[in-house]
Structure formats: C-alpha cells, structure tokens
Amino acid sequence: MAQIHPKTTPIYQTSVFTFEDLNDLELYFEQPEQKYMYTRYGNPNSDELAEEVNKLEGGAGAVATSSGMSAILTAVLTYCQSGDHVLCAEEIYGGSSALLSQELTRMGIAVSYVPSDTLYTLQEFVQPNTKLLLAETMSNPLLQVVDLKRLAEETKRMGIKLVVDNTFASPVITRPLALGADLVIHSVTKYLSGHSDVTAGVVVTKNSEDSNRSKQIMRTYGLNLSPFESWLAARGLKTLKLRMRQHCTNAQAIAEMLEQHPHVKKVWYPGLAQHPQHQLAKEQGQGMFGGMLSFKLKDDAPETVNAFMQALQQIPFAPSLAGVSTSISHPLRTSHRSLNPAQQQKLGITLGLIRLSVGIEETEELLADLKQALEKV
C-alpha cells in the first residue's frame, strides 16, 4: 500500500496498542516515550495536546487530564501526601475550594485560605508541613490580578511550591512558569479548547521530575483524557492566539460601554484604568486583559437580573466560560453556590453580580445586544 501522510494527526481511538512479540514489548519499557501500550498510560492525541500546551507555557513537561478539576487534583498530589498542608488564595474557583475543603481534607491534606491582601506575606500562614500555594492568575469572577513574580518570590522564600491556575489568562496573556511558578494547570475546557465542546485539563511543570510525578498520578488514578477529546482540544488550540486577540478587543469595548451606562453600577475588568491592578495586568499580560468581565446592575433585584438575561437576544445564560460565543453567568447561583452566605458576602459575590464571558463575534453586534437588553431593565 502507498504511504499515506495525513496533514493532521488522526484520532487514535483505541484503548490499547499491539506488539509484534516480546522483543517489541521490551522496546516499550526501554523507551516508553517512543511507543504506546495502553491509552490510560498515554495516547498520541493526549500527548500531542500536552506537548503543544507545554510549548506555549514554556514547561519541562505536561500531561493532559480528563478535566480542569482532575488537573488540580494531580497538581496537589504531585507535591502532597496525607499529613501535609496547602495554602490557597481566598479568591479561587468554587470547585477548587470544594476539592480542597471537602475532599482532600478527608484524606489528611489540610488547607488554609489566604486573603488577597496578605498574599505576598505568607509567614503567618505557612506551617512546617505546608507544601504549596494555589492561586489563579486572574480570579473568578472579580478579575483580581495576582502579581505572580512577587508571589513566586514569596513562595520561594517560604520554601513552598507555587501552583497557578492560568485558565482565565491563557499562556497568550501570561506565562506563570517564566515568572517563577513551579506548576501551571488549566481547565482546557475553557480558552485552550475554546469551542465549549470539550471537558479537559492539563498540568505543566517547570522541572521534569515534577512532570514525571504528575504523569504517574494521572496514570495511576486514571485521570487521563480520551483520544477524541484530546484531538478536539488540540484542534481548538491551533487558533488560541487569534481567538484571544478578539476576546480581548471585544471585552475592552464592552467594559468601556458598561462603565458609562446609566443602568450599570460597577464593572470589573483589568483593562479599565480604574481597575485596582490595571498597571500590573498591563505589564504581566503584555497589554492584553482577557475576555472575562463582571458587572453589577444599578438595581440588583432578582427580577431585574432576570429581565436583563431574558432580554438578551444573542447571549445565552450558560454557566461556563471562554467559548467562541459570548455567554452570561451568575456566580452566586453557579460557580460560587457551594460557599456559605458569609463567604459569598466577603468575596463580593452578590445577587446583582453578572459575569460575562466575551466571545469572538463582531464587536458591534455584542454591544448592540447588551445595550438593547440594558434599556429593558
């Protein structure tokens, strides 16, 4: 048969690979990176995805996982065992704090939360058994931007690892490993795959020892990503840079419009001059501020929030983010639902808070839809 050279990687939709004989099997054990045996241990599609993200993040190795949550689990287990302690920035995705507080504590890994105003002075939080700090480059949903270089200096000083969830920024905007982080995770479900049709995660490490350990955890806990999801995510990744540019352009235009609108009380977007970390975001993000923003209506009664959502013609209410089409969400009732009322209040997650995941549509179309909906509240 003539040699066939596909331009794109085919989908290796198989759970297992075959061997000629025992000699062939030995080759796998001698050079596992050259061959495949069983898809849970490794598959060309998940390896392609991991390698592409590894290049973008500038890591020493990466592993694809079945979700962002399994990436966070892999990250924690790379450094911790029963009896250890982790620190977590207080402003964090609700699922991450649920994993730490409700599940990993049951397995003997304790957690303490660090308020954002003490993030760069960790002395009073670090214990002899503290192994790492988990923080997000840009927090969800109020877009607080963390100074990763400063944070990395502090975690190094304290002798603990810095684990960064870079989901909201993507490596197009910020590369945490270059700023001193030890490990980066993504919910690939979001910008990296980009089309709201994949659930996936990735762990990227600064050194190869941590990479080997995270791969071992993925394999042993069975946290692998399927070949098809890997293929879809790798396909989405090819347009990441282009998409991020348009996400940022649209979000900036919308944030500026909302900031001036008489029915809007407050807007949270790092690209606005009044954002508390605007200058830092500008430097750390190379002039790009991302596609996520949050805002509060002047009248934040539940009926008003509902009326606004119902009046939108093109923007659906969907409790996820970072797809090519714009969607709206309500953090109090979705991502931060599991927190108690005092925690929600403390973080500023109130009823009137609306989060917008700005897509890559024509800017004017999005502005028009939002304006007409605001006129109806």
Ligand X SMILES: Cc1ncc(COP(=O)(O)O)c(C=O)c1O
**Could you tell me the smallest distance in angstroms from the CB atom of residue 105 to ligand X?**
19
- Angle in degrees, CA 291, 203, 102, rounded to 5: 85
**Could you tell me the smallest distance in angstroms from the CB atom of residue 244 to ligand X?**
16
Of 141 and 374, the one with the shorter C-beta distance to ligand X is 141
Of 140 and 326, the one with the shorter C-beta distance to ligand X is 140
Tokens matching residue 344: 């929600």
Distance, in Å, from the CA atom of 377 to the CA atom of 355, rounded to the nearest integer, reads 17
Of 45 and 199, the one with the shorter C-beta distance to ligand X is 199
**Could you tell me the smallest distance in angstroms from the CB atom of residue 188 to ligand X?**
7
**Could you tell me the smallest distance in angstroms from the CB atom of residue 335 to ligand X?**
6
Neighbours of 116 (CB within 10 A): 15
For residue 95, report the phi and psi dihedrals to the nearest 5 degrees: -65, -35
Residues of 303-315 as b/e, b for ≥16 C-beta within 10 angstroms? ebbeebbebbeeb
The catalytic residue among 28, 35, 36, 40 is: 40
Nearest CA-CA partner of 237 in 48, 40, 33, 7: 48
**Torsion region of 302: left, alpha or beta (phi above 0 gives left; psi -120 to 50 gives alpha):** alpha
The 49-88 contact track toward ligand X, x by CB under 6 A, reads ------------------xxx-------------------
The catalytic residue among 131, 161, 165, 191 is: 165
Report the residue closest to ligand X, judged by CB: 68
Q: Is residue 165 among the annotated active site residues?
A: yes
Spatial strand order of the sheet with 353-357 comes to: 264-268, 292-297, 353-357, 327-329
**Could you tell me the smallest distance in angstroms from the CB atom of residue 110 to ligand X?**
21
The catalytic residue among 131, 190, 213, 355 is: 190
223 binds ligand X (CB under 6 A): no
Among 39, 140, 205, 230, binds ligand X (CB under 6 A): 140
Asked if 122 and 158 touch (Cβ cutoff 8 Å), the reply is yes
**Could you tell me the smallest distance in angstroms from the CB atom of residue 366 to ligand X?**
21
Q: Is residue 120 among the annotated active site residues?
A: no
Q: Is residue 238 among the annotated active site residues?
A: no
Q: Which stretch in 16-24, 92-100, 203-211, 288-296 sits in contact with ligand X by CB under 6 A?
A: 92-100
201 binds ligand X (CB under 6 A): yes
Rule CB under 6 A: which of 255-314 touch ligand X? none
Interface with ligand X (CB under 6 A), residue total: 15
List all residues 6 or more positions away from 137 whose beta carbon is below 8 Å from its beta carbon: 145, 146, 148, 164, 165, 166, 168, 169, 173, 174, 176, 284
Biggest CA-to-CA distance, the chain: 74
Among 189, 246, 250, 344, binds ligand X (CB under 6 A): 189
For residue 236, report the phi and psi dihedrals to the nearest 5 degrees: -60, -40
Torsion angle of the four alpha carbons 258, 318, 342, 140, in this order, in degrees rounded to the nearest 10:
-60
Q: Is residue 245 among the annotated active site residues?
A: no
**Could you tell me the smallest distance in angstroms from the CB atom of residue 326 to ligand X?**
16
List all residues 6 or more positions away from 247 whose beta carbon is below 8 Å from its beta carbon: 191, 290, 291, 322, 358, 359, 360
165 binds ligand X (CB under 6 A): yes
Dihedral sign for Cα atoms in the order 101, 294, 266, 255: positive
199 binds ligand X (CB under 6 A): yes
Q: Which stretch in 76-84, 145-153, 161-169, 301-309 sits in contact with ligand X by CB under 6 A?
A: 161-169
97 binds ligand X (CB under 6 A): no
90 binds ligand X (CB under 6 A): no
- The residues annotated with a catalytic role in the active site are 40, 93, 165, 190
Q: Interface residues with ligand X (CB under 6 A)?
A: 67-69, 93, 95-96, 136, 140, 165, 167-168, 187, 189, 199, 201
